Amino acid sequence: MLEGKTVDAAEPPRIVFESPAQCRESDHAEELLRRALSPARAPGRGWSVAMRVERVETTGTKALQAQGEITDGDGVSVAHRNIAGTTAGCQGLARAVGVWASLVLDAELRKARGAPTALTDSRTEVASAIAHGSSGSGTPGGDPTGGASEAHEVGMGAGPAEPVTAWPAPAIVEKASPEHDWYLHHDEGRALELGVGVFLMTGAGGGAVAGPTAFVVIEAGHGLFLRPSLGFGESLTSIPPSDVKASTWAAGRFDTCVRMPGLYTRHHGMQLDLCAGTDVGMTAIDSGTVTTLPYWDIGPSINLRGELGSRLSAVLRVAAGVNIVRDSFYDLNDHREQVPIGNVRLELAFSWDAR
């Protein structure tokens, strides 16, 4: 296959990474593929290694599959390999394709140089078996013996074949996905979200209030997410406050959350955050005279986050708390009223993944 071509023209192959949108961190996966192929050399000019990623569904579970293709300088396919993954990450697939392609190129380079290719080096045996006997699809743990026999027939030398080491499955080199843990985390890069929304709240004293809110979600590591936020609300004319003219509420809140994992596709799924935090602020109540009350509560919250197909997400949030500071005020009838013992807040917001 390589007659008439000088081996001295050995050079690194051209690397093509296709379908990067299927990967969670496409740039990182391509970097791993190039790193795995950095020492590889092709027998001649114009050789290329292509990796294509596609999403498949088996037994109701979505996973990724990589196709590796090696072509020579004339555009003729030399080897093809399908590698099935088990998680939503491309890192393990990129490493597996890189190792496979390196072994195939090493075997082709040895054959072009006329070096002995007897079955004494298990790595060369496996590479030659895959290069000549695995043009169809197959799993990484396919039958290497049949491939080795075919490679032997095309010129690997005579003599009895020794046992061939099985091709290692990508699951061995691939890290466990975040979904294997009881909380969701990202090893490649920590999440950072910026968001704004509106809320409706009752229980702060002086009736229901509504207004805007802004927040930031910062992944701190070990599955923990920090969520500082600010809110400002005023009493609603459609829901008039009881026995007061108007009320105004403003506070800052700090939550610590755990994001629960789920079997979803990135940018097309749902996430559940379980949080606990505290609000610190003030409530101003106008009942003829303005009374300013300190506000401090503590309690849990639940965030349901739905990804809208890009970096934008919609967030539905419910927060409840116990009012630690329960000061009192006088209403329009000069009756003394106390801030309720608890409060509830409903928020609808949108967040942007700034990572």
Q: Which residues have C-beta within 8 Å of that of residue 26, sequence separation ≥ 6?
A: 17, 20, 90
Judge whether 28 and 13 are in contact, CB under 8 Å: no
Dihedral, 30, 35, 39, 45 alpha carbons, nearest 10: 20
Residue 316: HSE in the Cβ half-sphere, 13 Å Cα cutoff: 4
165, pLDDT greater than 50: no
Query: Using CA atoms, how far apart are residues 70 and 98, in angstroms rounded to an integer?
Result: 11
Query: Using CA atoms, how far apart are residues 100 and 124, in angstroms rounded to an integer?
Result: 11
Q: What is the pLDDT of residues 21-39, one digit of tens each?
A: 777 655 577 888 888 888 8
pTM more than 0.75: no
Confidence of residue 121 (pLDDT cuts 50, 70, 90): very low
Quick one: 224 exposed, middle or buried, by C-beta within 10 A (0-12, 13-18, 19+)? middle
Pick 82 or 171 by higher pLDDT: 82
Confidence of residue 155 (pLDDT cuts 50, 70, 90): very low
Confidence of residue 279 (pLDDT cuts 50, 70, 90): very high
- Which tokens sit at 245? 């003219």
Query: Using CA atoms, how far apart are residues 24 and 87, in angstroms rounded to an integer?
Result: 11
Judge whether 122 and 164 are in contact, CB under 8 Å: yes
- Which tokens sit at 69? 């293709």
Quick one: 222 exposed, middle or buried, by C-beta within 10 A (0-12, 13-18, 19+)? exposed
Give me the residue label for tokens 């290329």: 48
> What domains are there in the chain, each with its CATH number?
7-175 (3.30.160), 180-353 (2.40.160.20)
127, pLDDT greater than 80: no
Q: Is 352 helix (H, G, I), strand (E, B) or coil?
A: strand
